[in-house]
Amino acid sequence: MIVEGIKEKKGQDIIVIDLLNITNAPCSFFVICSATSRIQVNAIINNIIKLLYEKMSLRVLRDEGRHSDWCVLDYFDIVIHVFTEEAREHYKLEKLWADGLIKNII
């Protein structure tokens, strides 16, 4: 459902990082994607929030970074990171959590 929401708004370079086997990980999974602008970042996060609520009655626990280069949606076990391309390259979150199982989504 999350990947569907990202793809509907043309999010790019989608990956899922499985953190289940990492001691003291902040959640079970990270979903990370890129957007070409802050406007697209907001479109992606709004679409994810809408889809998860409408189809699964899930409410986001916390969202941070609206109208910025990096937005985080916290669904407790799953944390979604939507970056502009420049911010993603700068923070390199995938490398920080490279000991997790990384799956590229096509």
pLDDT tens digits for range 57-76: 999 999 999 889 999 999 99
- Residue 27: pLDDT band by 50, 70, 90 thresholds? very high
Q: How far is CA 72 from the centre of its chain?
A: 7
- Residue 106: pLDDT band by 50, 70, 90 thresholds? confident
88-99 per-position pLDDT tens digit: 999 999 999 999
Q: How far apart are CA 66 and CA 64, in angstroms?
A: 6
- CATH number assigned to the domain with residue range 2-104, chosen from the 4 options 3.30.300.160, 3.30.460.10, 1.20.5.510, 3.30.930.10: 3.30.460.10
Q: Domain spans of the chain? A: 2-104
